[in-house]
Structure 1
Amino acid sequence: MELLVRPSTAADIAAVDALLARAYPKLLKHDYAPSVLVTALPLISRAQPALLTCGTYYVAEGDGAILGAGGWTRDRSLKELGHIRHVVTDDRAVRRGVGRAILSHILIQAGAAGITELECWSTFTAEPFYAAMGFRSEGPMEVALQPGISFPAIRMRQSLS
């Protein structure tokens, strides 16, 4: 399958929103309790317009559709540290190179921007994928989504230098 990875734009917000809303519930259901998903999915399965238009968020197009998305942002304090952001692959396109294409693009672009280390707050589901892409686990963590709502994750890192 031929994939085009490009920066996302405001025109992609609806498609990425639909992708997140469709894929996350299906991909995460085997690794998270229903009680976690019922509170977290409405918060994590939505496109973030500011992120999609920041210039470091990308979509992967193939077969005439957006099949994946993800990006990175620079840490506010440590300018050489970047954070992997909101990576998703269409649940109908897993294991077809979409996630690898997005993350490879992120690694190249972040490195070119002077980032020397990337941090990722991985879902339990995606931990093996990030490990295969060179990230090392630093252990479990809780991501605060809203007051009283957190999401279990795995903190992972990769050096780019």
Structure 2
Amino acid sequence: MTAPDPKRIGAWPKLRPSNAGDIERIDRLLRQSYPRLLKPDYPPSVLVTAIPLIARAQPDLIKCGTYYVAEDRDGAIVGAGGWTQSIPGAGGREPGRGNIRHVVTDHSRVRQGIGRALMAHTLASARSEGMTWMHCVSTRTAVPFYASLGFTAMGEVSIPIGPAGIGFPAVEMRCDL
């Protein structure tokens, strides 16, 4: 994987670990971007239920040390994402397995290399911590992006969200490091 050309994206995003002070800004990024990014691939009936539940920053994730933000020259957060060894929703760990977590790019800044820079950093971090493969539960929208990074689809899944057990359609993917 090669880093994006800074001339092409205008300003190379500054990547850093997220912290508790970023929660409100990440919340805003998720609330503004997820509805616009996911709209082409999900029916309104799914989005009206899912968006309020999935477009929220996860404080424990943000403070874990392996979740990152991308900032533009003005310090605005234009992307976020990272990884954990702990398996989302299930807890526990599997030797060598890392898990991609809650990746988002500002909807007005897609295709500028921000997501690719975040993922390059995330994968390098996981590799340096001894992970040999990465697991990802991708939105339908992000499948082509993850495929371009070397992830392969393992199959469709339904992620239970909300108290009524409503399912959010997604695609399980993996990538060997």
**Counterpart Cα distance in 2 of 1:20 and 1:106:** 19
Aligned residue identity for 2:82: G
Within a 5 Å distance, the mapping from 1:117-156 to structure 2 comes to 117-146=133-162, 147-156=164-173
**Counterpart Cα distance in 2 of 1:74 and 1:42:** 26
Secondary structure of the structure 2 residue equivalent to 1:104: helix
Match of 1:71 among 79, 82, 107: 82
Match of 1:110 among 117, 126, 147: 126
Secondary structure of the structure 1 residue equivalent to 2:101: strand
Secondary structure of the structure 2 residue equivalent to 1:141: strand
Secondary structure of the structure 2 residue equivalent to 1:92: helix
Q: State the shift of 1:3 in Å.
A: 1.1
Secondary structure of the structure 1 residue equivalent to 2:83: strand
Within a 5 Å distance, the mapping from 1:1-161 to structure 2 comes to 1-64=11-74, 65-75=76-86, 76-146=92-162, 147-160=164-177
**TM-score of the aligned structures, taking structure 1 as reference length:** 0.97
| CA-based RMSD | 0.9
**Counterpart Cα distance in 1 of 2:37 and 2:147:** 17
**Counterpart Cα distance in 1 of 2:170 and 2:41:** 11
| Stretches of structure 1 lacking an aligned partner (at least 5 in a row) | none
**Counterpart Cα distance in 1 of 2:93 and 2:13:** 34
- CA deviations 1:90-136 (Å, max 9, x no partner) are 00100000000110000000000011110000001000000001100
Greater per-residue strand proportion: 1
Q: State the shift of 1:77 in Å.
A: 2.8
Identity of aligned pairs, percent?
54
Tell me the equivalent position of 2:8.
none
**TM-score of the aligned structures, taking structure 2 as reference length:** 0.88
**Counterpart Cα distance in 1 of 2:71 and 2:55:** 19
What is the total number of aligned residue pairs between the two structures? 160
Runs of 4+ deviating beyond 6 Å: none
**Counterpart Cα distance in 2 of 1:55 and 1:130:** 22
| Stretches of structure 2 lacking an aligned partner (at least 5 in a row) | 1-10, 87-91
